[in-house]
A = this chain, B = another copy of it.
Amino acid sequence: MNITEILDSYKAGELDLSEAEKLIKHNDYDEMGFAKLDTQREKRSGFPEVIFCAGKADDYLVSIYRRMVANDGCALGTRANPEQAALIMESIPEATYDPVSRILKVEPAGGYKRTGTGGIVAVCSAGTADIAVAEEAAQTAEYFGADVLRFYDIGVSGIHRLLSKVEEIRTADAVIAVAGMEGALPTVLGGLVRNPVIAVPTSVGYGANFHGLSALITMINSCANGIAVVNIDNGYGAGYIATQIGRLAAVGR
Is A118 part of the contact surface with B, judged by Cβ < 8 Å?
no
Is A45 part of the contact surface with B, judged by Cβ < 8 Å?
yes
Is A136 part of the contact surface with B, judged by Cβ < 8 Å?
no
Query: Copies per complex?
Result: 8
CA distance A192 to B159 in the complex (A): 8
Q: When the two chains form their complex, are residues A196 and B156 in contact, meaning their CB atoms are under 8 A apart?
A: no
Closest B residue by C-beta to A4: B21
Is A93 part of the contact surface with B, judged by Cβ < 8 Å?
no
A223 with B126, Cβ < 8 A, contacts A161-B29, A204-B55, A208-B213 known: yes
Closest B residue by C-beta to A222: B182
Interface residues of A in 178-230 (CB under 8 A from B): 181-184, 187-188, 190-196, 198-199, 201, 203-230
Q: Which of A32-40, A67-75, A106-114 contacts B (4 or more CB under 8 A)?
A: A32-40
Q: When the two chains form their complex, are residues B195 and A184 in contact, meaning their CB atoms are under 8 A apart?
A: no
Is A87 part of the contact surface with B, judged by Cβ < 8 Å?
no
Complex interface: chain B residues within 8 A of A152 (CB): 33-36
- Counting chain A residues whose Cβ lies within 8 A of the other chain, the interface size class is 35 or more
Minimum Cβ distance to chain B for residue A140 (Å): 10
CA distance A54 to B224 in the complex (A): 17
Is A116 part of the contact surface with B, judged by Cβ < 8 Å?
no
Q: List 5 A-B contacts (CB under 8 A).
A: A3-B24, A11-B11, A159-B192, A182-B222, A215-B221
Sorted nearest first, the 9 A-B pairs with minimum C-beta distance are A252-B252, A207-B232, A228-B228, A26-B160, A184-B184, A157-B224, A157-B191, A248-B249, A207-B231
* Chain A interface residues toward B at CB < 8 A: 3-4, 7-8, 10-11, 17, 20-21, 24-29, 33-36, 38, 40-41, 44-47, 50, 54-56, 60, 119, 126-129, 131, 152-161, 163-164, 173, 181-184, 187-188, 190-196, 198-199, 201, 203-234, 237-238, 240-241, 244-245, 248-249, 251-253
